[in-house]
Amino acid sequence: MKELSMTLADQMQSIRSGAMYNDLTAELIAAREAAVFLTNEYNSSFGQSPATREVILQKLLASVGERVHFEPTFRCEFGRNISIGNNFYANFDCVMLDGGGIEIGNDVLFGPRVGIYTSNHAIDAAERAAGACYAKPVKIGNRVWIGAGVHINPGVTIGDDTIIGSGSVVTKDIPAGVIAAGVSCKVIRDITESDRTGFCA
């Protein structure tokens, strides 16, 4: 467990390294509160110009590509550990616990109520009560579609061009170019040329 005297930057580095950390330090509590204020500001800016909303996201997240949009409401734990590429859209009620780091590629779609959880509490009850947590990163590739109500657990990587079906709980890595679904999420089939419809915008 890390001491209260650690700076926020030191604590974030320790969290991202996968080490056990104290979830109850004053610095982490203050960082969560700051994220709440910024997400409230972002959610209440719905209907304002994309440029105005982008400025808020740039204050909140580690990096933000072009055309990044969350429908209200969006919630995150810290924000500073989230990197998102270009052309990202999340439908309403997206939640990201980002202590361990979240990386999202380009052209990614989220259905309603998608949750990404990089953090986990200690298994031992006494350690858990004392604030012990650990975190593992989540990585989502390019051109991924995550269906409604999907939960993505710590340490998961989802490959490019993949679809995760609604209501899935993703506990293990999912490869590129597949449709996967279920509790826990499993590959159903590859995405092939026969899935092309000939649609042109």
Q: What CA–CA distance (Å, rounded) separates 78 from 60?
A: 8
**Which among 2, 69, 75, 121 is annotated as catalytic?**
121
Residues forming a β-bridge with 63: 83
The dihedrals phi and psi of 106, each to the nearest 5 degrees, come to -90, 150
Nearest to residue 24, comparing CAs of 10, 53, 51, 3?
3
Is 151 known to be catalytic?
A: no
Q: Within 13 Å of residue 102, how many CA atoms lie on the same side as its CB? A: 23
- Between β-strands 74-76 and 94-97, what pairing exists: parallel, antiparallel or unpaired? parallel
User: CA 149 to CA 169: how far, in whole Å?
Assistant: 9
Q: State how far Cα 155 lies from the chain centre.
A: 11
Q: Which residues are catalytic?
A: 121
